[in-house]
Protein backbone atom coordinates (compact mmCIF):
# COMPACT_ATOMS: atom_id res chain seq x y z
CA UNK A 1 0.00 0.00 0.00
CA UNK A 2 1.23 3.51 -0.90
CA UNK A 3 1.03 5.75 2.11
CA UNK A 4 -0.61 9.14 1.72
CA UNK A 5 0.27 12.12 3.87
CA UNK A 6 -1.85 15.27 3.73
CA UNK A 7 -3.43 13.95 0.53
CA UNK A 8 -0.08 13.50 -1.30
CA UNK A 9 1.50 10.19 -2.17
CA UNK A 10 5.15 9.56 -1.39
CA UNK A 11 5.71 8.98 -5.12
CA UNK A 12 4.18 10.57 -8.21
CA UNK A 13 1.95 8.44 -10.49
CA UNK A 14 4.20 6.36 -12.74
CA UNK A 15 7.19 6.82 -10.41
CA UNK A 16 10.28 4.89 -11.55
CA UNK A 17 13.05 6.14 -9.28
CA UNK A 18 14.34 9.17 -7.40
CA UNK A 19 17.21 11.17 -8.82
CA UNK A 20 20.25 11.84 -6.58
CA UNK A 21 19.43 13.91 -3.50
CA UNK A 22 20.14 17.66 -3.59
CA UNK A 23 23.36 17.48 -1.59
CA UNK A 24 24.71 14.23 -3.03
CA UNK A 25 28.04 15.07 -4.73
CA UNK A 26 27.55 14.90 -8.51
CA UNK A 27 29.59 12.38 -10.42
CA UNK A 28 27.95 12.98 -13.80
CA UNK A 29 29.79 14.64 -16.68
CA UNK A 30 27.79 17.31 -18.44
CA UNK A 31 28.47 19.19 -21.66
CA UNK A 32 26.75 22.22 -23.10
CA UNK A 33 25.76 20.46 -26.33
CA UNK A 34 23.62 18.05 -24.27
CA UNK A 35 21.05 20.77 -23.62
CA UNK A 36 18.29 22.00 -25.89
CA UNK A 37 17.81 25.16 -23.83
CA UNK A 38 20.36 27.38 -22.14
CA UNK A 39 19.52 28.42 -18.55
CA UNK A 40 17.86 31.82 -18.37
CA UNK A 41 20.52 33.19 -16.01
CA UNK A 42 23.70 32.15 -14.20
CA UNK A 43 25.80 34.22 -11.81
CA UNK A 44 27.45 33.93 -8.39
CA UNK A 45 24.16 34.14 -6.53
CA UNK A 46 21.44 32.40 -8.49
CA UNK A 47 20.72 30.07 -11.38
CA UNK A 48 17.43 30.34 -13.28
CA UNK A 49 16.17 27.40 -15.32
CA UNK A 50 13.40 27.71 -17.87
CA UNK A 51 10.30 25.54 -17.43
CA UNK A 52 6.97 25.14 -19.21
CA UNK A 53 4.14 22.93 -17.98
CA UNK A 54 2.60 23.04 -21.48
CA UNK A 55 4.80 21.13 -23.89
CA UNK A 56 3.40 22.58 -27.13
CA UNK A 57 1.63 25.94 -27.08
CA UNK A 58 -1.24 26.71 -29.43
CA UNK A 59 -2.76 23.26 -29.92
CA UNK A 60 -5.48 23.78 -27.32
CA UNK A 61 -6.11 27.34 -28.52
CA UNK A 62 -6.45 26.60 -32.24
CA UNK A 63 -8.08 23.21 -31.82
CA UNK A 64 -10.43 24.53 -29.13
CA UNK A 65 -11.57 27.47 -31.24
CA UNK A 66 -12.28 25.18 -34.18
CA UNK A 67 -14.15 22.71 -32.00
CA UNK A 68 -16.16 25.45 -30.29
CA UNK A 69 -17.16 26.87 -33.67
CA UNK A 70 -18.44 23.51 -34.83
CA UNK A 71 -20.07 22.94 -31.45
CA UNK A 72 -21.87 26.29 -31.58
CA UNK A 73 -23.26 25.48 -35.02
CA UNK A 74 -24.42 22.10 -33.71
CA UNK A 75 -26.02 23.79 -30.68
CA UNK A 76 -27.96 26.18 -32.93
CA UNK A 77 -29.09 23.27 -35.08
CA UNK A 78 -30.23 21.25 -32.03
CA UNK A 79 -32.07 24.30 -30.73
CA UNK A 80 -33.87 24.73 -34.04
CA UNK A 81 -34.88 21.07 -34.07
CA UNK A 82 -36.02 21.13 -30.43
CA UNK A 83 -38.16 24.27 -30.91
CA UNK A 84 -39.66 23.34 -34.27
CA UNK A 85 -43.05 21.71 -33.67
CA UNK A 86 -43.02 20.21 -37.17
CA UNK A 87 -40.06 18.00 -36.33
CA UNK A 88 -40.78 15.10 -34.02
CA UNK A 89 -37.70 14.26 -31.96
CA UNK A 90 -37.53 12.21 -28.80
CA UNK A 91 -36.91 14.21 -25.63
CA UNK A 92 -34.15 11.78 -24.69
CA UNK A 93 -32.32 12.47 -27.96
CA UNK A 94 -32.55 16.23 -27.40
CA UNK A 95 -31.22 15.89 -23.85
CA UNK A 96 -28.31 13.74 -25.02
CA UNK A 97 -27.39 16.18 -27.81
CA UNK A 98 -27.48 19.20 -25.52
CA UNK A 99 -25.49 17.33 -22.89
CA UNK A 100 -22.76 16.53 -25.42
CA UNK A 101 -22.53 20.13 -26.63
CA UNK A 102 -22.39 21.38 -23.03
CA UNK A 103 -19.63 18.90 -22.19
CA UNK A 104 -17.59 20.12 -25.15
CA UNK A 105 -17.92 23.72 -23.94
CA UNK A 106 -16.83 22.70 -20.44
CA UNK A 107 -13.74 20.97 -21.84
CA UNK A 108 -12.70 23.47 -24.50
CA UNK A 109 -13.06 26.74 -22.60
CA UNK A 110 -10.64 25.91 -19.73
CA UNK A 111 -8.22 24.29 -22.20
CA UNK A 112 -8.14 27.47 -24.30
CA UNK A 113 -7.74 29.67 -21.24
CA UNK A 114 -4.92 27.48 -19.93
CA UNK A 115 -3.10 27.79 -23.25
CA UNK A 116 -3.22 31.60 -23.33
CA UNK A 117 -2.99 32.49 -19.61
CA UNK A 118 -0.16 30.16 -18.55
CA UNK A 119 2.91 32.46 -18.44
CA UNK A 120 5.39 32.42 -21.32
CA UNK A 121 7.89 30.78 -19.00
CA UNK A 122 7.54 29.28 -15.51
CA UNK A 123 11.13 29.56 -14.31
CA UNK A 124 12.76 28.14 -11.23
CA UNK A 125 15.47 30.10 -9.42
CA UNK A 126 18.12 28.33 -7.37
CA UNK A 127 19.73 30.75 -4.90
CA UNK A 128 23.06 29.27 -3.83
CA UNK A 129 23.79 31.64 -0.94
CA UNK A 130 20.37 31.27 0.63
CA UNK A 131 20.05 27.57 -0.31
CA UNK A 132 16.51 28.35 -1.40
CA UNK A 133 14.55 27.48 -4.53
CA UNK A 134 11.95 29.86 -5.98
CA UNK A 135 9.20 28.42 -8.20
CA UNK A 136 7.29 30.74 -10.53
CA UNK A 137 4.15 28.69 -9.96
CA UNK A 138 0.99 29.20 -12.01
CA UNK A 139 -2.20 28.09 -10.27
CA UNK A 140 -5.41 27.29 -12.12
CA UNK A 141 -8.70 25.53 -11.51
CA UNK A 142 -10.17 23.51 -14.38
CA UNK A 143 -13.71 23.72 -12.98
CA UNK A 144 -13.76 27.44 -12.14
CA UNK A 145 -12.49 28.56 -15.52
CA UNK A 146 -13.94 32.09 -15.33
CA UNK A 147 -12.48 32.82 -11.88
CA UNK A 148 -9.71 35.42 -11.62
CA UNK A 149 -8.87 34.43 -8.05
CA UNK A 150 -8.20 30.78 -8.91
CA UNK A 151 -6.05 31.53 -11.99
CA UNK A 152 -2.91 33.42 -11.04
CA UNK A 153 0.84 33.21 -10.49
CA UNK A 154 1.84 32.36 -6.94
CA UNK A 155 5.62 32.16 -6.42
CA UNK A 156 6.60 29.42 -3.97
CA UNK A 157 9.80 29.22 -1.90
CA UNK A 158 11.32 25.99 -0.53
CA UNK A 159 14.60 24.92 1.03
CA UNK A 160 16.92 23.25 -1.44
CA UNK A 161 17.66 20.36 0.94
CA UNK A 162 13.96 19.42 1.14
CA UNK A 163 13.54 18.66 -2.56
CA UNK A 164 13.25 15.26 -4.25
CA UNK A 165 13.46 14.86 -8.04
CA UNK A 166 11.32 11.96 -9.31
CA UNK A 167 11.56 10.26 -12.69
CA UNK A 168 8.09 9.17 -13.83
CA UNK A 169 6.83 7.18 -16.80
CA UNK A 170 3.28 6.07 -17.53
CA UNK A 171 1.08 5.15 -20.46
CA UNK A 172 -1.69 7.68 -21.05
CA UNK A 173 -4.21 6.51 -23.67
CA UNK A 174 -5.42 9.38 -25.80
CA UNK A 175 -2.50 11.61 -24.83
CA UNK A 176 0.18 10.38 -27.17
CA UNK A 177 0.94 7.07 -25.48
CA UNK A 178 3.94 6.91 -23.14
CA UNK A 179 4.46 10.06 -21.08
CA UNK A 180 7.69 10.68 -19.22
CA UNK A 181 8.62 13.58 -16.99
CA UNK A 182 10.55 14.73 -13.95
CA UNK A 183 8.60 15.97 -10.94
CA UNK A 184 9.99 17.80 -7.91
CA UNK A 185 8.50 16.74 -4.57
CA UNK A 186 8.97 18.77 -1.40
CA UNK A 187 9.41 17.04 1.95
CA UNK A 188 8.35 18.44 5.27
CA UNK A 189 11.65 19.44 6.93
CA UNK A 190 13.18 16.57 8.88
CA UNK A 191 10.68 13.98 7.61
CA UNK A 192 9.75 11.98 4.50
CA UNK A 193 6.29 13.57 4.30
CA UNK A 194 5.62 15.04 0.86
CA UNK A 195 3.87 18.39 1.23
CA UNK A 196 4.01 19.70 -2.34
CA UNK A 197 4.89 18.59 -5.85
CA UNK A 198 5.83 20.60 -8.95
CA UNK A 199 6.48 19.84 -12.60
CA UNK A 200 10.13 20.09 -13.65
CA UNK A 201 10.73 18.64 -17.13
CA UNK A 202 8.84 16.82 -19.89
CA UNK A 203 11.72 14.50 -20.78
CA UNK A 204 13.46 12.27 -18.23
CA UNK A 205 16.93 12.45 -19.79
CA UNK A 206 16.88 16.20 -20.23
CA UNK A 207 15.37 16.64 -16.77
CA UNK A 208 18.19 14.57 -15.27
CA UNK A 209 20.76 16.85 -16.91
CA UNK A 210 19.10 20.00 -15.59
CA UNK A 211 18.84 18.47 -12.13
CA UNK A 212 22.57 17.74 -12.32
CA UNK A 213 23.23 21.36 -13.27
CA UNK A 214 21.15 22.55 -10.31
CA UNK A 215 23.06 20.25 -7.93
CA UNK A 216 26.45 21.30 -9.30
CA UNK A 217 25.53 24.95 -9.01
CA UNK A 218 24.05 24.74 -5.51
CA UNK A 219 27.01 22.73 -4.20
CA UNK A 220 30.00 24.17 -6.06
CA UNK A 221 28.95 27.38 -7.79
CA UNK A 222 28.76 28.57 -11.38
CA UNK A 223 32.44 27.97 -12.22
CA UNK A 224 31.87 24.21 -12.61
CA UNK A 225 29.06 24.60 -15.14
CA UNK A 226 29.74 24.19 -18.86
CA UNK A 227 29.79 27.12 -21.27
CA UNK A 228 26.54 26.93 -23.18
CA UNK A 229 26.70 27.33 -26.94
CA UNK A 230 23.55 29.46 -27.23
CA UNK A 231 22.67 32.68 -25.42
CA UNK A 232 19.77 32.55 -22.94
CA UNK A 233 16.33 33.45 -24.23
CA UNK A 234 14.53 36.54 -23.02
CA UNK A 235 10.99 35.22 -22.65
CA UNK A 236 9.57 38.73 -22.24
CA UNK A 237 11.01 39.84 -25.58
CA UNK A 238 8.38 39.32 -28.29
CA UNK A 239 11.09 38.91 -30.91
CA UNK A 240 12.43 35.79 -29.16
CA UNK A 241 9.19 33.87 -28.68
CA UNK A 242 6.62 32.36 -31.01
CA UNK A 243 3.50 34.23 -32.08
CA UNK A 244 1.29 31.94 -29.98
CA UNK A 245 3.45 32.44 -26.89
CA UNK A 246 3.19 36.22 -27.29
CA UNK A 247 -0.46 35.92 -26.28
CA UNK A 248 0.62 34.59 -22.88
CA UNK A 249 1.47 36.86 -19.92
CA UNK A 250 5.07 37.93 -19.46
CA UNK A 251 7.10 36.74 -16.48
CA UNK A 252 6.76 39.26 -13.65
CA UNK A 253 8.09 38.20 -10.26
CA UNK A 254 6.67 40.12 -7.28
CA UNK A 255 9.26 42.82 -6.46
CA UNK A 256 10.11 41.50 -2.99
CA UNK A 257 10.57 37.90 -4.13
CA UNK A 258 12.40 39.01 -7.25
CA UNK A 259 14.93 40.92 -5.12
CA UNK A 260 15.29 38.17 -2.54
CA UNK A 261 15.77 35.42 -5.12
CA UNK A 262 18.53 37.37 -6.90
CA UNK A 263 20.54 38.41 -3.86
CA UNK A 264 22.51 36.91 -0.98
CA UNK A 265 21.60 37.26 2.71
CA UNK A 266 22.62 40.55 4.34
CA UNK A 267 22.39 42.26 0.96
CA UNK A 268 19.88 44.86 -0.20
CA UNK A 269 17.05 42.35 0.05
CA UNK A 270 17.45 42.07 3.82
CA UNK A 271 17.88 45.70 4.69
217 Cβ contact list (under 8 Å, min separation 6): 42, 47, 126, 128, 224, 225
Nearest to 137 by CA among 124, 155, 120: 155
Would you write out the chain's pLDDT as a tens digit for each of its 271 residues? Answer: 334 445 477 787 788 999 999 999 877 667 666 677 789 999 999 999 999 998 888 888 888 888 888 888 888 887 877 777 777 777 787 788 888 888 888 888 888 888 999 999 999 999 999 999 999 999 988 888 788 888 899 999 999 999 999 999 887 655 556 788 999 999 988 888 899 999 999 989 889 989 999 999 999 998 888 888 888 999 999 999 888 899 999 999 999 999 999 999 986 555 4
Domain boundaries, the chain: 4-52+120-243+255-262, 60-117
Helix (H, G, I), strand (E, B) or coil at 68: helix
The angle subtended at Cα 119 by Cα 228 and Cα 32, nearest 5°, is: 10
The DSSP 8-state label assigned to residue 226 in this structure reads P
For position 34, what pLDDT does the model report? 65
For position 71, what pLDDT does the model report? 83
DSSP string over 119-137: -S---EEEETTTTEEEE-P
Query: How would you list the strands of the sheet with 156-159, edge to edge?
Result: 41-42, 46-49, 124-127, 132-135, 156-159
pTM, to two decimals: 0.86
Amino acid sequence: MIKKVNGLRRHSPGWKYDLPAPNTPPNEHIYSNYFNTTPNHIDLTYLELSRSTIRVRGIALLGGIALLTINTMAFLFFSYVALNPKIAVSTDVIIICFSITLAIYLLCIPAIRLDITTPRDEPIRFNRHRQKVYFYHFKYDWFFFFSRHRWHVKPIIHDWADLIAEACSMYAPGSGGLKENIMIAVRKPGTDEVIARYFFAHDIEEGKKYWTIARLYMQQGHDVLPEFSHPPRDWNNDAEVSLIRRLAPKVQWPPDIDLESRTAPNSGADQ
